[in-house]
Amino acid sequence: MKRYAPLIIIGAVLVIALGGAYALIRNNRNAERRPTNTATPSATAGRTASIYQPHQKGAATSSVTIEEFGDLQCPPCKILHEELKNVTAIKEGQVRFIFSHYPLPQIHPYAVAAAHATEAAALQNRFWEMQDYLYRNQEAWSRGGDVQGIFASYANTLGLDVERFLRDMNSPEVAERVRTDTRRGNAMRVTSTPTLFLNNREVSPDDMTAARLNVLIAEAMRK
């Protein structure tokens, strides 16, 4: 019996080894058959899948595009904002109008925060409403104080989710969105606000009135 003991032990080891190998192979095959969950959580997807889109009105296929680089704390930008409301082609959606941020914090200390406020509102589809509200109340919030609290009260007035608004306003995604606009402005050699382009040609400050813009747009649409 002792003579066969080593053979019995070797046999047992081989059986155990073969059984383990079989189990390993079976587990690997089952793993290959199981579907892999590649879905991204919805909250993360909203952040990572976002692609830069300009804030625009009107027909994207229009032969005329007007782009403004503006600073929400800039008084001349507020004046231009009111003039643009009376530009017929913009009102009727006949041209493509784009607004891009170009805050100048060295002279307007709350301009960046204001830009962030509009971007936070944009995440709730209220960019233009917040922009208009900030321009209309520019003198009030430009005096300083708790501007974030002031902007939160504006968000509440506009019916936004204020908790989400404040979270988004302070998010790195919103900050990068504003910086993206600024980098575009730098590439187009913007140095002051408001700067206006009509089909990528800079518009003279003297032409930044509704009357003159109506003429320039009409001329451009005839070409």
pLDDT score recorded for residue 51: 60
pLDDT score recorded for residue 7: 42
Percentage of residues in the chain having pLDDT higher than 70: 77
Burial label, 223 (beta-carbon count in 10 A; 0-12, 13-18, 19+): exposed
> What ranges do the domains of the chain cover?
2-32, 54-222
Cα-flanking dihedrals φ and ψ of residue 57, to 5°? -125, 160
Given this structure, which CATH class describes domain 54-222? alpha beta
**For the segment 160-184, what is each residue's pLDDT rounded down to a tens digit?**
999 999 999 999 999 999 999 999 9
Tell me the pairing of strands 65-70 and 96-101.
parallel
For residues 217 and 219, what is the distance between their CA atoms, to the nearest angstrom?
5
pLDDT score recorded for residue 38: 31
**For the segment 8-43, what is each residue's pLDDT rounded down to a tens digit?**
444 444 444 444 444 444 444 443 333 333 333 333
Enumerate residues 6+ apart whose C-beta is below 8 A from 98.
54, 55, 56, 65, 66, 67, 68
- Segment 61-73 shows an average pLDDT of 97
In the structure, what pLDDT confidence band is assigned to residue 52 with cuts at 50, 70 and 90? confident
**For the segment 95-122, what is each residue's pLDDT rounded down to a tens digit?**
999 999 999 999 999 999 999 999 999 9
pTM to 2 decimal places:
0.77
